[in-house]
Structure 1
Amino acid sequence: MQQSAVDRFWSKVLKGPGLDDHYLFLGAVADDGYGRYFLRQDGRDTSVRPHRYAYELATGVPLAEGEVLRHVCNIPICVRPDPGHLIAGTQRENMLDRVWDGRHANGATWRWRGVGREIFAARSRALRDAALEHGWNQDILNPLFSGIDPEAPTLF
């Protein structure tokens, strides 16, 4: 029996055990740091953003033209479809979030701020790979959520 696209999707998601934990997409990560999920639609193979797919599955409504999903949690591979993680909005609101959170090029201290596309993707892949290798291990994932490289030497 062939697995449905929805079942296959959720098999690629690691849900944290806590009430507010992330749902990490463990599939492909594109060069922009966001996930890619491949499925067959209308007789063709296509790629969709996993966070959009999860949101549409949860709400039953596709996003309107020009509407984007804002990652409130600031974790690009998080697909948890609830307001603490993803909310629908405009691109303007998304850019204002970016400034508010300090993720723009002149941002203050946020891990994802002002980094190039390659580094952004590498950080998402490192988080995904750690989750694939270790499961939901807080000691390993928390530093990656906050932007601390667990392999980096400490000063003390």
Structure 2
Amino acid sequence: MAELEEKRKYLPFEEKGKWTLEIYGIQVKQGLSSSIAAKFTKSIIIWHIATETLHSLEIEKSDAFRESKLLSEYMIYLLALHPHKLSLPTTDIALEHACCTLRLFLRYRDYKEAISMLSSVDEDVIPLFVEPSNATRITRDWHMLLEVQKLVADLRTISNK
């Protein structure tokens, strides 16, 4: 934590995970970069789905992995049940969009097929027509499943420090 405080020099938390990635020398890749740049609400949703996907793929669960899953579950809990604590006014819209997208995606797929598609490095695997038709200004250009897929692919290439 001291390294993080030194790196950010008590500036406001506007860079989200950027400083942590720099401290550990992790190259920011496409999926990581877009998840960090995303609005906080969307970022929590993307990371939660990616964490669940990776959890399904992992055979050996490390302490760091269990901790990241616990953090993911806590953040989605705050987002869904206590969004006022995070001061996020668009939470309901983003969560509704995420639920609709997942419902459409999972409608004709079993669990293993869905995990396989989300963990594939082939971007053509996830059809863009899986997006709900009731997009709002907040969700219009948000291809959630594609962002999850890119993040999962990037996280699988990073060593577990």
Determine if the TM-score, normalized by the shorter chain, exceeds 0.5: no
TM-score by length of 2: 0.29
Richer in helix (by share): 2
Give the structure, 1 or 2, with the largest relative contact order (CA under 8 Å, sep 6 or more): 2
More strand by share: 1
**Alignment TM-score, normalising by the size of structure 1:** 0.30
